Protein backbone atom coordinates (compact mmCIF):
# COMPACT_ATOMS: atom_id res chain seq x y z
CA UNK A 1 0.00 0.00 0.00
CA UNK A 2 1.47 3.39 -0.95
CA UNK A 3 2.07 5.80 1.95
CA UNK A 4 -0.97 7.83 2.99
CA UNK A 5 -3.43 5.72 0.99
CA UNK A 6 -7.04 5.39 2.10
CA UNK A 7 -8.57 1.91 1.72
CA UNK A 8 -11.00 0.90 -1.05
CA UNK A 9 -13.81 0.33 1.43
CA UNK A 10 -13.34 3.67 3.18
CA UNK A 11 -16.94 3.98 4.40
CA UNK A 12 -16.94 0.56 6.11
CA UNK A 13 -13.52 1.28 7.61
CA UNK A 14 -14.73 4.64 8.94
CA UNK A 15 -17.97 3.25 10.37
CA UNK A 16 -15.97 0.64 12.25
CA UNK A 17 -13.36 3.16 13.47
CA UNK A 18 -16.11 5.56 14.61
CA UNK A 19 -17.81 2.79 16.59
CA UNK A 20 -14.57 1.47 18.09
CA UNK A 21 -13.21 4.85 19.16
CA UNK A 22 -16.45 6.44 20.41
CA UNK A 23 -17.08 8.86 17.57
CA UNK A 24 -20.49 7.77 16.22
CA UNK A 25 -22.93 5.05 17.36
CA UNK A 26 -26.27 3.98 15.88
CA UNK A 27 -29.06 5.51 17.96
CA UNK A 28 -30.85 3.17 20.42
CA UNK A 29 -28.47 0.38 19.42
CA UNK A 30 -29.51 -1.93 22.27
CA UNK A 31 -32.98 -2.04 20.65
CA UNK A 32 -31.62 -2.72 17.18
CA UNK A 33 -31.10 0.94 16.18
CA UNK A 34 -33.48 3.33 14.46
CA UNK A 35 -32.91 3.98 10.77
CA UNK A 36 -31.75 7.53 10.09
CA UNK A 37 -30.80 8.43 13.68
CA UNK A 38 -27.31 8.53 15.21
CA UNK A 39 -25.59 9.25 18.51
CA UNK A 40 -22.27 11.01 18.87
CA UNK A 41 -19.92 9.48 21.43
CA UNK A 42 -17.33 11.22 23.61
CA UNK A 43 -15.01 11.99 20.68
CA UNK A 44 -17.72 12.61 18.07
CA UNK A 45 -19.49 15.12 20.27
CA UNK A 46 -16.19 16.98 20.77
CA UNK A 47 -15.65 17.08 17.01
CA UNK A 48 -19.17 18.35 16.33
CA UNK A 49 -18.75 20.97 19.03
CA UNK A 50 -15.46 22.04 17.43
CA UNK A 51 -17.12 22.37 14.01
CA UNK A 52 -19.94 24.43 15.52
CA UNK A 53 -17.52 26.62 17.48
CA UNK A 54 -15.27 27.23 14.46
CA UNK A 55 -18.29 28.22 12.34
CA UNK A 56 -19.76 30.46 15.07
CA UNK A 57 -16.42 32.14 15.70
CA UNK A 58 -15.81 32.85 12.02
CA UNK A 59 -19.40 33.56 11.01
CA UNK A 60 -20.56 35.57 14.04
CA UNK A 61 -17.81 36.60 16.49
CA UNK A 62 -15.20 37.64 13.94
CA UNK A 63 -17.61 39.70 11.83
CA UNK A 64 -19.38 42.95 12.63
CA UNK A 65 -22.37 42.39 10.36
CA UNK A 66 -23.77 39.09 11.68
CA UNK A 67 -25.59 38.27 14.91
CA UNK A 68 -26.60 34.87 16.23
CA UNK A 69 -29.90 33.61 17.65
CA UNK A 70 -31.44 30.35 18.89
CA UNK A 71 -35.08 29.72 18.07
CA UNK A 72 -37.47 26.97 19.11
CA UNK A 73 -37.63 23.69 17.24
CA UNK A 74 -41.43 23.65 17.28
CA UNK A 75 -42.86 26.87 15.90
CA UNK A 76 -46.38 28.11 15.20
CA UNK A 77 -47.80 25.85 12.44
CA UNK A 78 -48.61 28.94 10.36
CA UNK A 79 -44.84 29.45 9.93
CA UNK A 80 -44.73 26.31 7.79
CA UNK A 81 -47.80 27.30 5.80
CA UNK A 82 -46.24 30.69 5.08
CA UNK A 83 -42.86 29.23 4.19
CA UNK A 84 -44.44 26.81 1.72
CA UNK A 85 -43.30 23.67 3.55
CA UNK A 86 -46.82 22.34 4.27
CA UNK A 87 -47.69 22.41 0.59
CA UNK A 88 -44.33 21.91 -1.05
CA UNK A 89 -41.75 20.20 1.16
CA UNK A 90 -42.26 16.84 -0.46
CA UNK A 91 -40.27 14.09 -2.07
CA UNK A 92 -41.82 11.79 -4.69
CA UNK A 93 -42.45 8.40 -3.06
CA UNK A 94 -42.96 4.99 -4.68
CA UNK A 95 -44.22 2.00 -2.65
CA UNK A 96 -43.64 -1.66 -3.35
CA UNK A 97 -46.99 -3.23 -2.36
CA UNK A 98 -45.47 -6.70 -1.91
CA UNK A 99 -42.27 -6.00 0.07
CA UNK A 100 -43.64 -2.82 1.75
CA UNK A 101 -40.35 -1.11 0.81
CA UNK A 102 -40.50 2.62 0.01
CA UNK A 103 -38.32 4.37 -2.52
CA UNK A 104 -37.67 7.94 -3.50
CA UNK A 105 -38.93 8.01 -7.07
CA UNK A 106 -36.00 10.13 -8.25
CA UNK A 107 -33.57 7.55 -6.83
CA UNK A 108 -35.27 4.52 -8.42
CA UNK A 109 -34.15 4.08 -12.03
CA UNK A 110 -35.56 1.87 -14.77
CA UNK A 111 -34.97 1.18 -18.45
CA UNK A 112 -36.85 -0.67 -21.16
CA UNK A 113 -35.04 -3.77 -22.45
CA UNK A 114 -34.97 -3.20 -26.21
CA UNK A 115 -34.01 -6.07 -28.56
CA UNK A 116 -33.94 -5.51 -32.33
CA UNK A 117 -35.83 -2.24 -31.81
CA UNK A 118 -38.64 -3.87 -29.78
CA UNK A 119 -39.30 -3.40 -26.03
CA UNK A 120 -39.36 -6.90 -24.50
CA UNK A 121 -39.45 -5.95 -20.80
CA UNK A 122 -38.13 -3.60 -18.12
CA UNK A 123 -35.29 -3.60 -15.58
CA UNK A 124 -34.78 -1.40 -12.51
CA UNK A 125 -31.96 -0.38 -10.15
CA UNK A 126 -31.49 1.97 -7.23
CA UNK A 127 -29.33 5.02 -7.89
CA UNK A 128 -25.64 4.27 -7.43
CA UNK A 129 -22.24 5.34 -8.75
CA UNK A 130 -22.91 3.03 -11.72
CA UNK A 131 -26.66 3.01 -12.29
CA UNK A 132 -26.38 2.69 -16.08
CA UNK A 133 -23.91 -0.21 -15.80
CA UNK A 134 -26.20 -2.04 -13.36
CA UNK A 135 -29.22 -1.56 -15.62
CA UNK A 136 -27.23 -2.79 -18.64
CA UNK A 137 -26.15 -5.92 -16.73
CA UNK A 138 -29.76 -6.49 -15.62
CA UNK A 139 -30.98 -6.08 -19.21
CA UNK A 140 -28.45 -8.68 -20.45
CA UNK A 141 -29.51 -11.08 -17.68
CA UNK A 142 -33.18 -10.51 -18.56
CA UNK A 143 -32.57 -11.30 -22.24
CA UNK A 144 -30.59 -14.44 -21.34
CA UNK A 145 -33.19 -15.68 -18.86
CA UNK A 146 -36.03 -15.23 -21.34
CA UNK A 147 -33.88 -16.77 -24.14
CA UNK A 148 -34.62 -13.84 -26.44
CA UNK A 149 -32.61 -13.76 -29.69
CA UNK A 150 -31.40 -10.54 -31.36
CA UNK A 151 -29.30 -7.42 -30.66
CA UNK A 152 -29.74 -5.77 -27.26
CA UNK A 153 -29.66 -1.97 -27.42
CA UNK A 154 -27.75 0.06 -24.78
CA UNK A 155 -30.11 0.93 -21.91
CA UNK A 156 -31.49 4.46 -21.57
CA UNK A 157 -32.09 5.01 -17.83
CA UNK A 158 -34.93 7.18 -16.53
CA UNK A 159 -36.12 7.64 -12.98
CA UNK A 160 -39.61 6.79 -11.72
CA UNK A 161 -40.78 10.42 -11.86
CA UNK A 162 -40.37 10.11 -15.65
CA UNK A 163 -42.28 6.81 -16.04
CA UNK A 164 -45.40 6.92 -18.22
CA UNK A 165 -48.54 5.63 -16.42
CA UNK A 166 -48.69 2.54 -18.65
CA UNK A 167 -45.04 1.66 -17.87
CA UNK A 168 -45.40 1.54 -14.08
CA UNK A 169 -47.02 -1.92 -13.93
CA UNK A 170 -44.23 -3.30 -16.14
CA UNK A 171 -41.26 -2.06 -14.07
CA UNK A 172 -39.88 -4.65 -11.61
CA UNK A 173 -39.58 -3.74 -7.94
CA UNK A 174 -35.93 -3.74 -6.80
CA UNK A 175 -37.08 -5.66 -3.71
CA UNK A 176 -38.79 -8.57 -5.46
CA UNK A 177 -37.38 -8.43 -8.99
CA UNK A 178 -40.95 -8.81 -10.30
CA UNK A 179 -43.15 -6.21 -12.04
CA UNK A 180 -46.66 -5.26 -10.88
CA UNK A 181 -46.08 -4.13 -7.30
CA UNK A 182 -44.76 -0.56 -7.68
CA UNK A 183 -47.19 2.32 -7.17
CA UNK A 184 -47.15 5.55 -9.19
CA UNK A 185 -45.06 8.29 -7.47
CA UNK A 186 -46.93 10.43 -4.95
CA UNK A 187 -45.88 13.50 -3.00
CA UNK A 188 -44.71 12.63 0.52
CA UNK A 189 -44.34 15.51 2.97
CA UNK A 190 -41.09 15.13 4.91
CA UNK A 191 -42.04 17.13 7.99
CA UNK A 192 -42.47 15.21 11.25
CA UNK A 193 -45.86 16.03 12.75
CA UNK A 194 -46.57 16.38 16.43
CA UNK A 195 -49.29 17.78 18.70
CA UNK A 196 -48.86 20.68 21.08
CA UNK A 197 -50.90 20.38 24.30
CA UNK A 198 -53.41 17.78 25.39
CA UNK A 199 -55.64 17.78 22.30
CA UNK A 200 -54.84 15.42 19.42
CA UNK A 201 -56.81 17.16 16.68
CA UNK A 202 -55.84 19.30 13.72
CA UNK A 203 -55.98 22.48 15.82
CA UNK A 204 -53.06 21.20 17.90
CA UNK A 205 -51.00 19.87 15.00
CA UNK A 206 -47.49 21.24 14.62
CA UNK A 207 -44.16 20.18 13.15
CA UNK A 208 -40.57 19.57 14.11
CA UNK A 209 -38.71 22.17 12.05
CA UNK A 210 -37.26 20.85 8.78
CA UNK A 211 -34.82 23.79 8.60
CA UNK A 212 -33.56 26.36 11.10
CA UNK A 213 -33.96 29.17 8.55
CA UNK A 214 -37.58 30.02 9.38
CA UNK A 215 -36.53 30.96 12.92
CA UNK A 216 -34.43 33.77 11.47
CA UNK A 217 -37.27 35.03 9.27
CA UNK A 218 -39.89 34.84 12.02
CA UNK A 219 -37.57 36.83 14.35
CA UNK A 220 -36.44 39.32 11.71
CA UNK A 221 -38.32 42.25 13.28
CA UNK A 222 -37.26 41.29 16.82
CA UNK A 223 -33.59 41.39 15.80
CA UNK A 224 -33.98 44.63 13.87
CA UNK A 225 -35.78 46.26 16.81
CA UNK A 226 -33.25 45.13 19.42
CA UNK A 227 -29.99 44.27 17.71
CA UNK A 228 -28.64 47.63 16.41
CA UNK A 229 -28.14 46.03 13.00
CA UNK A 230 -27.88 47.87 9.67
CA UNK A 231 -28.45 46.55 6.17
CA UNK A 232 -26.71 44.48 4.92
CA UNK A 233 -26.60 42.19 7.94
CA UNK A 234 -26.99 38.52 8.76
CA UNK A 235 -28.73 36.38 11.37
CA UNK A 236 -27.09 33.03 12.07
CA UNK A 237 -28.29 29.97 13.91
CA UNK A 238 -27.06 26.46 14.69
CA UNK A 239 -29.58 23.82 15.65
CA UNK A 240 -31.31 20.52 15.05
CA UNK A 241 -33.60 19.98 12.07
CA UNK A 242 -35.77 16.98 11.31
CA UNK A 243 -36.83 15.43 8.01
CA UNK A 244 -38.66 12.18 7.58
CA UNK A 245 -36.36 11.16 4.72
CA UNK A 246 -37.77 8.29 2.64
CA UNK A 247 -34.36 6.70 2.26
CA UNK A 248 -31.90 7.87 4.89
CA UNK A 249 -28.52 6.60 3.72
CA UNK A 250 -24.79 6.82 3.56
CA UNK A 251 -24.33 6.84 7.33
CA UNK A 252 -24.69 10.39 8.72
CA UNK A 253 -24.86 11.96 5.23
CA UNK A 254 -28.66 11.81 5.00
CA UNK A 255 -30.33 11.26 8.34
CA UNK A 256 -33.72 12.07 9.80
CA UNK A 257 -32.42 14.17 12.67
CA UNK A 258 -29.45 16.37 11.87
CA UNK A 259 -27.91 19.67 12.73
CA UNK A 260 -27.82 22.74 10.50
CA UNK A 261 -25.70 25.88 10.53
CA UNK A 262 -27.61 28.49 8.57
CA UNK A 263 -27.21 32.20 8.02
CA UNK A 264 -29.72 34.57 6.42
CA UNK A 265 -27.93 37.60 4.98
CA UNK A 266 -30.40 40.46 4.45
CA UNK A 267 -29.63 42.90 1.66
CA UNK A 268 -31.37 45.92 0.09
CA UNK A 269 -33.69 44.92 -2.80
CA UNK A 270 -31.62 47.18 -5.10
CA UNK A 271 -28.30 45.63 -4.00
CA UNK A 272 -26.36 43.45 -6.43
CA UNK A 273 -27.68 40.11 -5.13
CA UNK A 274 -25.67 38.11 -7.64
CA UNK A 275 -22.39 39.66 -6.46
CA UNK A 276 -23.39 39.03 -2.84
CA UNK A 277 -24.24 35.41 -3.69
CA UNK A 278 -20.81 34.99 -5.29
CA UNK A 279 -19.12 36.50 -2.22
CA UNK A 280 -20.80 34.00 0.08
CA UNK A 281 -19.95 31.15 -2.27
CA UNK A 282 -16.28 32.11 -2.00
CA UNK A 283 -16.47 32.62 1.77
CA UNK A 284 -17.96 29.15 2.30
CA UNK A 285 -15.37 27.40 0.12
CA UNK A 286 -12.52 29.19 1.88
CA UNK A 287 -13.99 28.28 5.26
CA UNK A 288 -14.19 24.59 4.36
CA UNK A 289 -10.55 24.68 3.26
CA UNK A 290 -9.58 26.49 6.48
CA UNK A 291 -10.84 23.59 8.59
CA UNK A 292 -8.91 21.05 6.57
CA UNK A 293 -11.02 19.93 3.60
CA UNK A 294 -8.80 19.54 0.51
CA UNK A 295 -9.63 21.78 -2.45
CA UNK A 296 -9.30 18.74 -4.74
CA UNK A 297 -12.44 17.23 -3.12
CA UNK A 298 -14.58 20.36 -3.52
CA UNK A 299 -16.56 21.41 -6.58
CA UNK A 300 -19.59 23.54 -7.44
CA UNK A 301 -22.98 22.52 -8.79
CA UNK A 302 -25.36 25.16 -10.14
CA UNK A 303 -29.04 24.13 -9.90
CA UNK A 304 -30.87 24.34 -13.22
CA UNK A 305 -33.46 27.16 -13.20
CA UNK A 306 -36.38 24.75 -13.67
CA UNK A 307 -35.25 22.54 -10.76
CA UNK A 308 -34.76 25.30 -8.16
CA UNK A 309 -36.44 24.93 -4.74
CA UNK A 310 -39.70 26.86 -4.54
CA UNK A 311 -38.09 29.81 -2.72
CA UNK A 312 -34.88 30.15 -4.73
CA UNK A 313 -33.69 32.51 -7.52
CA UNK A 314 -30.31 30.88 -7.74
CA UNK A 315 -28.76 28.01 -5.80
CA UNK A 316 -25.20 26.78 -6.06
CA UNK A 317 -24.12 23.80 -3.97
CA UNK A 318 -20.60 23.20 -2.78
CA UNK A 319 -20.09 19.51 -3.49
CA UNK A 320 -17.73 17.12 -1.72
CA UNK A 321 -16.19 13.98 -3.17
CA UNK A 322 -17.46 11.40 -0.63
CA UNK A 323 -16.50 7.74 -1.11
CA UNK A 324 -20.08 7.09 -2.36
CA UNK A 325 -19.94 9.89 -4.95
CA UNK A 326 -19.82 13.65 -5.35
CA UNK A 327 -22.66 14.98 -3.17
CA UNK A 328 -24.06 18.24 -1.80
CA UNK A 329 -22.28 19.56 1.26
CA UNK A 330 -23.36 23.22 1.47
CA UNK A 331 -26.19 24.99 -0.36
CA UNK A 332 -25.93 28.72 -1.06
CA UNK A 333 -29.33 30.05 -2.14
CA UNK A 334 -30.58 33.47 -3.18
CA UNK A 335 -34.05 33.41 -1.59
CA UNK A 336 -35.12 36.89 -2.82
CA UNK A 337 -37.72 38.45 -0.48
CA UNK A 338 -39.88 35.31 -0.66
CA UNK A 339 -39.84 34.40 3.04
CA UNK A 340 -40.33 37.86 4.54
CA UNK A 341 -43.12 38.62 2.04
CA UNK A 342 -44.84 35.34 2.91
CA UNK A 343 -44.61 35.96 6.67
CA UNK A 344 -45.90 39.49 6.17
CA UNK A 345 -48.86 38.09 4.26
CA UNK A 346 -49.67 35.23 6.64
CA UNK A 347 -49.06 37.07 9.95
CA UNK A 348 -50.31 40.50 8.94
CA UNK A 349 -47.24 41.97 10.66
CA UNK A 350 -45.04 44.17 8.44
CA UNK A 351 -41.63 42.60 7.77
CA UNK A 352 -40.03 45.79 6.56
CA UNK A 353 -36.93 47.86 7.00
CA UNK A 354 -36.94 51.66 6.96
CA UNK A 355 -34.53 52.79 4.29
CA UNK A 356 -33.07 56.14 5.38
CA UNK A 357 -31.79 56.97 1.89
CA UNK A 358 -35.14 56.74 0.12
CA UNK A 359 -37.27 57.34 3.26
CA UNK A 360 -39.37 54.31 2.32
CA UNK A 361 -40.08 50.94 3.88
CA UNK A 362 -38.58 48.06 1.97
CA UNK A 363 -38.63 44.27 2.35
CA UNK A 364 -35.01 43.02 2.28
CA UNK A 365 -33.81 40.19 0.05
CA UNK A 366 -31.82 37.27 1.39
CA UNK A 367 -28.71 35.24 0.56
CA UNK A 368 -28.60 32.01 2.56
CA UNK A 369 -25.61 29.71 3.09
CA UNK A 370 -27.04 26.52 4.70
CA UNK A 371 -24.90 23.57 5.73
CA UNK A 372 -25.21 20.43 7.86
CA UNK A 373 -22.80 19.83 10.75
CA UNK A 374 -23.07 16.05 10.29
CA UNK A 375 -22.24 16.32 6.58
CA UNK A 376 -19.17 18.43 7.36
CA UNK A 377 -18.07 15.91 9.98
CA UNK A 378 -18.43 13.05 7.50
CA UNK A 379 -16.45 14.98 4.86
CA UNK A 380 -13.74 15.73 7.42
CA UNK A 381 -13.51 12.08 8.49
CA UNK A 382 -13.32 10.89 4.87
CA UNK A 383 -10.57 13.37 4.00
CA UNK A 384 -8.63 12.84 7.23
CA UNK A 385 -8.44 9.03 7.19
CA UNK A 386 -5.02 7.76 6.15
CA UNK A 387 -3.12 4.53 6.47
CA UNK A 388 0.65 4.51 6.28
CA UNK A 389 3.61 2.63 7.67
CA UNK A 390 5.65 3.79 10.64
CA UNK A 391 8.64 1.77 11.87
CA UNK A 392 7.51 -1.20 9.81
CA UNK A 393 3.98 -1.21 11.25
CA UNK A 394 0.70 -0.16 9.65
CA UNK A 395 -0.52 3.10 11.15
CA UNK A 396 -4.08 4.44 11.02
CA UNK A 397 -4.10 8.20 11.32
CA UNK A 398 -6.84 10.84 11.20
CA UNK A 399 -5.17 13.98 9.87
CA UNK A 400 -7.66 16.32 11.52
CA UNK A 401 -7.20 20.07 11.53
CA UNK A 402 -6.19 21.14 15.08
CA UNK A 403 -9.40 23.22 15.37
CA UNK A 404 -11.48 20.08 14.79
CA UNK A 405 -9.42 17.40 16.58
CA UNK A 406 -11.17 16.18 19.78
CA UNK A 407 -7.92 16.30 21.75
CA UNK A 408 -5.34 18.92 20.88
CA UNK A 409 -2.48 17.20 22.68
CA UNK A 410 -1.61 13.91 24.36
CA UNK A 411 0.50 14.23 27.51
CA UNK A 412 2.66 11.27 28.60
CA UNK A 413 5.26 10.53 31.24
CA UNK A 414 8.01 8.45 29.62
CA UNK A 415 7.66 5.78 32.33
CA UNK A 416 4.73 5.26 34.66
CA UNK A 417 6.84 3.81 37.48
CA UNK A 418 8.92 6.99 37.92
CA UNK A 419 6.93 9.25 40.29
CA UNK A 420 8.86 12.39 39.34
CA UNK A 421 7.99 11.95 35.64
CA UNK A 422 4.32 11.16 36.42
CA UNK A 423 4.05 14.19 38.74
CA UNK A 424 5.45 16.63 36.16
CA UNK A 425 3.35 15.11 33.33
CA UNK A 426 0.18 15.43 35.39
CA UNK A 427 1.00 19.03 36.31
CA UNK A 428 1.47 19.87 32.66
CA UNK A 429 -1.71 18.00 31.69
CA UNK A 430 -3.81 19.91 34.26
CA UNK A 431 -2.37 23.22 33.10
CA UNK A 432 -2.98 22.55 29.38
CA UNK A 433 -6.48 21.28 30.10
CA UNK A 434 -7.56 24.66 31.45
CA UNK A 435 -7.33 26.02 27.89
CA UNK A 436 -7.38 23.01 25.56
CA UNK A 437 -8.80 19.51 25.59
CA UNK A 438 -5.88 17.17 26.36
CA UNK A 439 -5.49 13.44 26.99
CA UNK A 440 -3.27 11.91 29.66
CA UNK A 441 -1.86 8.46 29.00
CA UNK A 442 0.77 6.52 30.91
CA UNK A 443 -0.01 2.96 29.87
CA UNK A 444 2.07 0.93 27.43
CA UNK A 445 5.11 1.75 25.33
CA UNK A 446 5.42 5.31 23.99
CA UNK A 447 5.01 4.04 20.39
CA UNK A 448 1.63 2.46 21.31
CA UNK A 449 0.49 5.64 22.99
CA UNK A 450 1.37 7.64 19.86
CA UNK A 451 -0.64 5.17 17.71
CA UNK A 452 -3.71 5.51 19.94
CA UNK A 453 -3.60 9.29 19.56
CA UNK A 454 -2.90 9.09 15.79
CA UNK A 455 -6.05 7.03 15.29
CA UNK A 456 -8.22 9.73 16.87
CA UNK A 457 -6.43 12.61 15.21
CA UNK A 458 -4.56 14.23 18.12
CA UNK A 459 -2.17 16.63 16.33
CA UNK A 460 0.61 16.61 18.96
CA UNK A 461 1.91 14.50 21.82
CA UNK A 462 4.34 15.64 24.50
CA UNK A 463 6.44 13.30 26.58
CA UNK A 464 7.94 14.20 29.94
CA UNK A 465 11.31 12.44 30.13
CA UNK A 466 14.49 12.53 32.20
CA UNK A 467 15.78 15.59 30.36
CA UNK A 468 12.67 17.45 31.57
CA UNK A 469 13.45 16.71 35.19
CA UNK A 470 17.21 16.74 35.17
CA UNK A 471 18.09 19.41 32.59
CA UNK A 472 16.06 22.30 31.21
CA UNK A 473 12.40 21.45 31.83
CA UNK A 474 11.66 20.93 28.11
CA UNK A 475 9.53 18.04 26.77
CA UNK A 476 9.59 16.03 23.55
CA UNK A 477 6.93 17.32 21.17
CA UNK A 478 5.93 14.84 18.48
CA UNK A 479 3.99 15.95 15.39
CA UNK A 480 1.28 13.55 14.15
CA UNK A 481 1.75 14.29 10.43
CA UNK A 482 5.47 14.87 9.99
CA UNK A 483 6.44 12.51 12.86
CA UNK A 484 9.12 15.08 13.73
CA UNK A 485 10.20 15.30 17.34
CA UNK A 486 11.69 18.38 18.97
CA UNK A 487 12.23 19.87 22.41
CA UNK A 488 9.75 22.48 23.56
CA UNK A 489 9.06 24.26 26.86
CA UNK A 490 5.71 24.87 28.54
CA UNK A 491 5.30 28.46 27.33
CA UNK A 492 6.05 27.44 23.74
CA UNK A 493 3.63 24.51 23.94
CA UNK A 494 0.77 26.70 25.17
CA UNK A 495 1.56 29.33 22.50
CA UNK A 496 1.55 26.64 19.78
CA UNK A 497 -1.82 25.30 20.93
CA UNK A 498 -3.34 28.80 21.22
CA UNK A 499 -2.19 29.73 17.74
CA UNK A 500 -3.10 26.56 15.86
CA UNK A 501 -6.48 25.89 17.43
CA UNK A 502 -7.83 29.45 17.24
Strand-pair partners of 124: 110
Instruction: List the x/- string, 251-280, binding to ligand GAP by CB under 6 A.
Output: ---xx--x-x-x------------------
Strands 257-267 and 66-68: unpaired
Q: Contact between 89 and ligand GAP (CB under 6 A)?
A: no
Question: Given the complex with ligand GAP, which of 273 and 412 has the nearer CB atom?
Answer: 273
Q: Residues 191, 210: contact at Cβ < 8 Å?
A: yes
> Which of 215, 369, 372, 413: binder of ligand GAP (CB under 6 A)?
372
Q: Residues 299, 326: contact at Cβ < 8 Å?
A: yes
Question: Given the complex with ligand GAP, which of 254 and 449 has the nearer CB atom?
Answer: 254
Q: Contact between 371 and ligand GAP (CB under 6 A)?
A: yes
CA distances from 206 to 76, 87, 258 (A): 7, 14, 19
Question: Given the complex with ligand GAP, which of 260 and 458 has the nearer CB atom?
Answer: 260
Beta strand extents in 72-157 (DSSP E only): 90-95, 102-104, 108-115, 118-126
Q: Which residues of 391-427 are buried (b: 16+ CB within 10 A; e: fewer)?
A: eeeebbbbbbbbbbbbbbbbbbbbeeebeebbebbee
Q: Residues 123, 144: contact at Cβ < 8 Å?
A: no
Question: Given the complex with ligand GAP, which of 38 and 460 has the nearer CB atom?
Answer: 38
Q: What is d(CA 332, CA 350) in angstroms, rounded to the nearest whole number?
A: 26
Closest by CA position to 167, among listed 237, 226, 221, 105: 105
Question: Given the complex with ligand GAP, which of 221 and 254 has the nearer CB atom?
Answer: 254
> Which of 112, 215, 331, 457: binder of ligand GAP (CB under 6 A)?
331
Q: Contact between 213 and ligand GAP (CB under 6 A)?
A: yes
Query: CB within 8 A of 295, min separation 6: which ones?
Result: 289
> Which of 328, 387, 388, 467: binder of ligand GAP (CB under 6 A)?
328
The distance of closest approach from Cβ of residue 211 to ligand GAP in the complex, given in angstroms and rounded to an integer, is 4
Taking contact as CB under 6 A, which single stretch among the options 24-32, 155-163, 326-334, 394-402 is the one that binds ligand GAP?
326-334
Question: Given the complex with ligand GAP, which of 37 and 346 has the nearer CB atom?
Answer: 37
Question: Given the complex with ligand GAP, which of 374 and 454 has the nearer CB atom?
Answer: 374
Q: Contact between 104 and ligand GAP (CB under 6 A)?
A: no
In a 10 Å sphere around its CB, with 0-12 CB exposed, 13-18 middle and 19+ buried, how is residue 249 labelled? middle
The distance of closest approach from Cβ of residue 92 to ligand GAP in the complex, given in angstroms and rounded to an integer, is 16
Q: Contact between 374 and ligand GAP (CB under 6 A)?
A: yes
Four-point Cα dihedral 305, 311, 316, 321, nearest 10: -110
Q: Contact between 388 and ligand GAP (CB under 6 A)?
A: no
Taking contact as CB under 6 A, which single stretch among the options 194-202, 366-374, 398-406, 411-419 is the one that binds ligand GAP?
366-374
The separation between CA 253 and the C-alpha centre of its own chain, rounded to angstroms, equals: 6
> Which of 211, 339, 454, 465: binder of ligand GAP (CB under 6 A)?
211
Taking contact as CB under 6 A, which single stretch among the options 191-199, 268-276, 370-378, 480-488 is the one that binds ligand GAP?
370-378
Interface positions with ligand GAP (CB under 6 A): 211, 213, 243, 245, 254-255, 258, 260, 262, 328-331, 368, 370-372, 374-375
Amino acid sequence: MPANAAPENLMETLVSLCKRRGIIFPSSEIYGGLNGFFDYGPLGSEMKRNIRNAWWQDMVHRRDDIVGIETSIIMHPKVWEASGHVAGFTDPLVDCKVSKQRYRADQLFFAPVVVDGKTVGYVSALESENTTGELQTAAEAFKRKKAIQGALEPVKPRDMTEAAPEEIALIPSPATGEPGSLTPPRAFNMMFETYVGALRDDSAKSYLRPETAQGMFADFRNVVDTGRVKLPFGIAQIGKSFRNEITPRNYIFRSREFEQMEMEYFIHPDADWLACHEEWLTWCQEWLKSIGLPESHLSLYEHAKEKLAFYSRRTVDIMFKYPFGVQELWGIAARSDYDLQQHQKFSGVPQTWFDEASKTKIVPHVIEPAVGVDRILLAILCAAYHEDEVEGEKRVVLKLHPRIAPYKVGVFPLLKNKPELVKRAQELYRKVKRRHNAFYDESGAIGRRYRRQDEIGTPWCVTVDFETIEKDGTFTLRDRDTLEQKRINETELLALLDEKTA
